[in-house]
Amino acid sequence: MKTVYSFKIGLLVAVLAAFGVRTEAQTITGISTIWDDDFSEWSIFTEEDTVNFGTLELINMRGSPRLDWRFRILEKDGRIRNIDRNDFSTWEIQGPNDIVTVRQMWRDDLREWRVTNNRTAMVWRSRYANHYEEWVINTRDHGFFSMYTLNPGDPRDWIVVDTMREDFPIEMKVAFMFITIFLTAPY
């Protein structure tokens, strides 16, 4: 009897561990505003509708020259803030496991951003020069990640194509999504 009980406990622990690994490696499929007329709160979606993957929201800082954002992914909190006061060309994403820096590559050109966690550096690019409705990164080592608007001209809903490796830092994916919505939303 004790052996059967130990087996059941071991099986339960193995199933829970497998589920935990599976939820950490969810594939992001979209990001949308929570309200149609407000671009300060966003929901992040995965391929499974039953999993609330995360949220992204602007923290209203009265009188502050900084824009602070908060994100929550799988019950873990993070923060996004512009590093230099009144300058929105450099951002820092502080997540549960990593810190990522996002910098505009070229002055007065919002099409390319350098995203790094000091171990991996990537360039997040707008696919077209004349509008920011499609962004993409494609690397041999890490995979493919792109975003495009669900409806052309409407920055409220984005489709995300995420085939990055499972061990790719979620903070870098948040950086890709954040820069995209920040540049296209009418604040």
pLDDT of residue 85: 75
Task: Kindly state whether residue 2 falls inside one of the protein's structural domains.
Answer: no
pLDDT of residue 21: 33
Which range of 6-15, 45-54, 148-157 scores highest in mean pLDDT? It is 148-157
Mean pLDDT (the chain) is 83
Are residues 177 and 56 in contact, defined by beta-carbon separation less than 8 angstroms? Answer: yes
Task: Kindly state whether residue 11 falls inside one of the protein's structural domains.
Answer: no
pLDDT of residue 53: 83
Q: Which domain holds residue 163?
A: 27-184
Task: Kindly state whether residue 4 falls inside one of the protein's structural domains.
Answer: no
Q: How many domains does the chain have?
A: 1
Q: Is 24 left (phi over 0), alpha (psi -120 to 50) or beta?
A: alpha
